[in-house]
């Protein structure tokens, strides 16, 4: 059976981002406060009269509010989860009102370190607070209020987005009916924290970082950002996927005995690093990786994840991928066990896929079939 689902349904033609401004103070988990903030978001589909068919999509590290469709001025600007969200797709916008939001602290339109601090008329830079998953969910709840959504039919996310979906069920148990937690974990392992720290060190030791206030110097810590992205990208792919795609292929057919890119994998990593450095903010990267490190809902319960999830009321679909060595299936099973301990309604799927952690972004007919079937049941439940 083919894994290419592109012919099964079409994307939106044009989507338009929107900006929500909040003029009430927002206190972060760290204790720091923002006097006001803005969230960039997009919506797809129509909110029904009962306001029961809303679905929130939570993004991972380097994604944004642009989940699906494309922009009128850029036909190549396809949303990062366009293969999953859209008319007739697993998360069907003919039935659901889907919301994508760029998280607080981001660099794609929401208030973040590169934004102007109204108190100084200069970019926040190093003064922008460290943000947590708890803070993101709290800000998303404020956006839900603004949109008139009192309860999400589902909150969906992969990787760090899955952690946000899990946090929704803990922080706002009555405001979420279903959580789709994909390629995620209840907390990072020491190895994952180590990867994040190496990436942060690459950025903070770049001479152009200037303690996080590089905006004033009209530079960016490009070298550090490139290294951080290269390291991260390696962890998102499986060894088998890298060998299948690149192997040991040489760009020019032979060894040149120099330190420029000779292997195709070297060229690929450098290309990805250049794109990332051109589009992502270094201070945002630091804060997102710290949010990953800090996420641990069981911490307040002596490490007992079952206790942390005891107040949850949602039903869950937990999905993992066999080749994902960064957030392995064993980590998803920890969540499943904690939910089972609380007698929650939980479905678990382990998808055989070769792509590594990035499998949650790929076309896979079995993975998409599971999401489609689950969301069809959600649609019937909320009369979407």
Positions marked catalytic: 159, 324, 357
- Residue 361 · residue 81 · CB < 8 Å: yes
Strand partners for 355: none
Kind of pairing between the strands at 122-123 and 116-117: antiparallel
**Residue 256 tokens, joined:** 């040149």
Categorise residue 273: left if φ over 0, alpha if ψ from -120 to 50, beta otherwise: alpha
Report which DSSP code applies to 304: -
**Residue 177 tokens, joined:** 């009916």
- Residue 177 · residue 153 · CB < 8 Å: yes
* CB-neighbour burial class of residue 13 (10 A; exposed 0-12, middle 13-18, buried 19+): exposed
Q: With CA atoms as reference, report the closest residue to 203 among 218, 225, 219, 220.
A: 225
Q: With CA atoms as reference, report the closest residue to 231 among 199, 277, 257.
A: 199
How far apart are the C-alpha atoms of 276 and 298, rounded to whole Å? 33
């Amino acid at each position: 059976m083919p894994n290419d689902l592109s012919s099964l349904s079409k994307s939106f033609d044009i989507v338009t981002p929107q900006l929500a401004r909040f003029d009430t103070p927002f206190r972060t988990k760290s204790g720091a406060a923002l006097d006001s903030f803005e969230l960039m978001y997009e919506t797809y589909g129509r909110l029904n009269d009962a306001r029961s068919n809303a679905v929130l999509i939570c993004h991972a590290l380097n994604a944004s509010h642009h989940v699906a469709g494309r922009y009128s001025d850029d036909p190549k600007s396809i949303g990062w989860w366009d293969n999953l969200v859209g008319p007739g797709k697993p998360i069907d916008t003919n039935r659901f009102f889907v919301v994508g939001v760029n998280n607080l602290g981001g660099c794609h339109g929401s208030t973040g370190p590169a934004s102007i601090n109204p108190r100084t008329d200069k970019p926040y830079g190093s003064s922008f607070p460290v943000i947590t998953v708890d803070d993101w969910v709290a800000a998303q709840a404020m956006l839900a209020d603004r949109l008139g959504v009192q309860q999400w039919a589902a909150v969906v996310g992969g990787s760090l987005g899955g952690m946000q979906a899990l946090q929704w069920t803990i922080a706002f148990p009555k405001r979420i009916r279903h959580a789709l937690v994909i390629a995620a974990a209840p907390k990072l392992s020491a190895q994952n924290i180590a990867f994040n720290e190496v990436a942060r060190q690459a950025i903070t030791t770049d001479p152009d970082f200037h303690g996080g206030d590089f905006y004033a110097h009209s530079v960016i810590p490009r070298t550090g950002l490139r290294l951080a992205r290269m390291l991260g990208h390696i962890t998102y792919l499986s060894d088998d996927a890298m060998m299948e795609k690149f192997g040991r292929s040489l760009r020019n057919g032979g060894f040149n005995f120099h330190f420029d890119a000779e292997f195709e994998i070297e060229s690929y990593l450098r290309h990805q690093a250049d794109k990332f450095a051109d589009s992502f903010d270094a201070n945002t990267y630091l804060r997102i990786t710290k949010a990953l490190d800090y996420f641990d809902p069981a911490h307040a319960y002596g490490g007992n994840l079952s206790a942390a999830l005891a107040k949850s009321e949602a039903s869950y679909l937990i999905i993992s991928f066999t080749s994902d060595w960064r957030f392995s299936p064993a980590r998803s099973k920890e969540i499943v066990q904690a939910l089972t301990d609380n007698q929650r309604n939980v479905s678990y799927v382990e998808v055989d896929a070769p792509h590594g952690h990035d499998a949650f972004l790929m076309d896979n007919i079995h993975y998409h079939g599971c999401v489609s079937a689950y969301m069809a049941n959600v649609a019937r439940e909320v009369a979407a």
